[in-house]
Amino acid sequence: MVERLEKRGLLSRDVDQEDRRARVLRLTPEGMALRRRLRPRMLAANCRAIEALTEDEARTLLALLHRAVQHHATLISPGAGRRMRRIATLQRKEAVS
């Protein structure tokens, strides 16, 4: 997906100066313009998605989604997913031994 957006000129990808393993993604001016044009449609789609919920249910859903995103924030560091798979593999090997 990132490559497609980059090829269309909507996104730029640069090496993170603080962590050379990571990449920094930024919307280009064209990407920002597209975002501005699509935002009203996105907001309308979000409203349609939760319109069957009561206000309390919608608040609960948003709070749960927020909590899930915060919990997984640690996975955004470079290599985090690979590290976790490696740890799981080592734990399985230890369990078999």
User: Is residue 2 domain-shared with residue 48, that is, in the same domain?
Assistant: yes
User: Is residue 8 domain-shared with residue 44, that is, in the same domain?
Assistant: yes
Per residue in 55-86, pLDDT (tens digit) is 999 999 999 999 988 888 766 665 555 555 66
Q: What angle do CA 41, 47, 52 make, to 5 degrees?
A: 145
Q: pTM value?
A: 0.57
User: Is residue 70 domain-shared with residue 94, that is, in the same domain?
Assistant: yes
Instruction: Give the integer Cα–Cα distance in Å for 63 and 65.
Output: 5
* CATH number, domain with residue 28: 1.10.10.10
For the chain, what is the domain count? 2
User: Which domain, by its residues, includes 24?
Assistant: 1-52
Asked whether 63 and 52 are in contact (CB, 8 A), the reply is no
User: Is residue 43 domain-shared with residue 76, that is, in the same domain?
Assistant: no
User: Is residue 11 domain-shared with residue 34, that is, in the same domain?
Assistant: yes
Instruction: Give the integer Cα–Cα distance in Å for 58 and 12.
Output: 35
Per residue in 19-38, pLDDT (tens digit) is 888 888 999 999 999 999 99
